[in-house]
Amino acid sequence: MPLDDLDKWVAEIQKEIDEEEIKRYNKYIVELFQNPKNWGKPKDNEISVWYAYEGFCGDTMQFFLKINKEIIEKINFITDGCGATVAAGSQITIILEGQTLEFAEKLQPIDIDNALGGLPEDHKHCAELAVTTIKRAIEKYKFQNS
């Protein structure tokens, strides 16, 4: 198969995969897991606290927070979880950057689910993993700074 035809074939397959994922999730979720926001571990001097947590499905998530006077100045994450988990982690970073710890502590999985436009039933727990991890990170920070 000539290279041009191969490229076209790969692009078509990718398009079909994307369309299937958009049907199963939605366009916003697929965009977030293809291009996650605030992904990756920052430099050590940009981290006030980090926390890793494993959900019941075995997927893990880590958050890295830079906190100054109770304000989350910077928030990053990584996960080895599914696309919905990547989207949930991204959404948390979008919501919490610049917010107070008090605001973050009130966050519920349904808030993330709603902000994402609704996760499929079998992926609701991805929002729970993300919210549980961020709350544990804040608990750890408060414990270390009490």
Q: Name the residues that contact ligand FES, by CB under 6 A.
A: 55, 57, 59, 81-82, 84-85, 123, 125-126, 129
Closer of 29 and 65 to ligand FES (Cβ) = 29
Please state the closest distance from residue 4 (CB atom) to ligand FES, in A. 37
Closest residue to ligand FES in the complex (CB): 57
Nearer to ligand FES, 125 or 135 (CB): 125
Q: How far is the CB of 55 from ligand FES (least distance, A)?
A: 5
CA 113/CA 111 separation, integer angstroms: 5
Q: Least Å distance between CB 43 and ligand FES?
A: 27
